[in-house]
């Protein structure tokens, strides 16, 4: 169990699984730069971050709901949580987290691990099972259901452990250029083709400015 002071940003799991160096630049070196892709994502999240609520049929929908897990050591906001009316009177309402992404479904698990972490936060907070959630992607504009099976939960818990380990180490991994670097908003700060043997972008930039 982690303390409140040890909680890390839940969104860091997606950064970690996309690229550990990107994760370190954001969460250790506190660097950030926006590009077209991140700007589009921010616009897509504007409603999700509003903190409003509404009714959709028999479901109550909460936007930008604060969540946290002391077991995972994570906190953040769920884009959308739908609370569905129980079939039996007196039973708890069923929460279903929905995560919004601007692009298309990714070949890795970075998105669904982030969603699963939200579900595990809700389970801890509300003491009720959250067996499924959904991803909404902006490009195909469709919703994909996600089941939180044991394998995905273990992957999520392991990602949270690695995230804490990375941040606690205070070390930024070496740069390793790959095709996905071209879509990263930190490309101009990371400079993966130049800083392959540089542990810290901050130190690299300081040296450049000094020269």
Rounded CA-CA distance 200/191 in Å is 11
Dist. CA 132–CA 102, nearest whole Å = 21
For residue range 57-97, what is the model confidence (pLDDT) as tens digits? Answer: 888 999 999 999 999 999 999 999 999 988 888 888 999 99
**What confidence tier does 199 reach under pLDDT thresholds 50, 70, 90?**
very low
Cα–Cα distance for residue pair 25/46, rounded to 1 Å: 25
Q: What pLDDT score was predicted for residue 118? A: 98
- In this prediction, residue 25 carries a pLDDT of 92
The per-residue pLDDT for 182 is 80
Domains and CATH numbers, the chain: 4-171 (3.90.320.10)
Least confident range of 42-46, 53-57, 84-88, 142-146: 42-46
Tens digit of each residue's pLDDT (9 = 90 or more) over 155-195: 999 999 999 999 999 999 988 888 888 878 887 788 887 76
From the list 71, 59, 37, the residue with the least C-alpha distance to 182 is 37
pLDDT at position 200 over 70: no
Q: Are strands 94-101 and 8-9 parallel, antiparallel or unpaired?
A: unpaired
Between 176 and 6, name the one with better pLDDT.
Answer: 6
Q: Look at the alpha carbons of 30, 34, 38, 42 in this order and tell me if their dihedral is positive or negative.
A: positive
What is the predicted pLDDT for the residue at 107? 84
* Mean pLDDT, the chain, whole residue set: 86
Mean pLDDT in residue range 10-22: 94
Tell me, what's the pLDDT at 201? 55
Identify the pLDDT of residue 104.
82
SS3 per residue for the chain: CCCHHHCEECCHHHHHHHCHHHHHHHHCCCCCCCCHHHHHHHHHCCCCCCCCEEEECCEEEEEEEEEEECCCCEEEEEEEEEEECCCCCCCCCEEEEEEEECCCCCCCCHHHHHHHHHHHHHHHHHCCCCCEEEEEECCCCEEEEEECCHHHHHHHHHHHHHHHHHHHHCCCCCCCCCHHHHHCCCHHHHCCCCCCCCCCHHHHHHHHHHC
Residue 202 has pLDDT above 80, yes or no: no
């Amino acid at each position: 169990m982690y303390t409140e002071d040890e909680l890390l940003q839940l969104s860091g799991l997606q950064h970690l699984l996309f690229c550990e160096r990107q994760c370190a630049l954001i969460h250790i070196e506190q660097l950030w730069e926006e590009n077209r892709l991140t700007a589009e994502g921010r616009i897509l999240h504007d409603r999700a971050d509003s903190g409003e609520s509404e009714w959709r049929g028999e479901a109550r929908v909460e936007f930008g709901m604060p969540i946290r897990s002391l077991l995972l050591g994570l906190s953040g906001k769920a884009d959308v949580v739908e609370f569905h009316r129980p079939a039996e009177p007196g039973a708890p309402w069923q929460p279903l987290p929905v995560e919004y992404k601007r692009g298309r479904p990714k070949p890795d698990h970075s998105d669904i691990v982030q969603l699963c972490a939200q579900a595990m936060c809700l389970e801890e907070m509300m003491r009720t099972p959250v067996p499924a959630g959904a991803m909404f992607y902006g490009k195909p504009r469709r919703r994909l259901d996600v089941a939180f099976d044991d394998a995905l939960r273990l992957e999520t818990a392991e990602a949270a452990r690695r995230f804490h380990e990375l941040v606690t180490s205070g070390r930024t991994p070496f740069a390793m250029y790959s095709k996905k670097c071209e879509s990263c908003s930190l490309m101009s700060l990371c400079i993966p083709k130049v800083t392959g043997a540089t542990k810290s972008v901050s130190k690299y930039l300081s040296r450049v400015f000094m020269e």
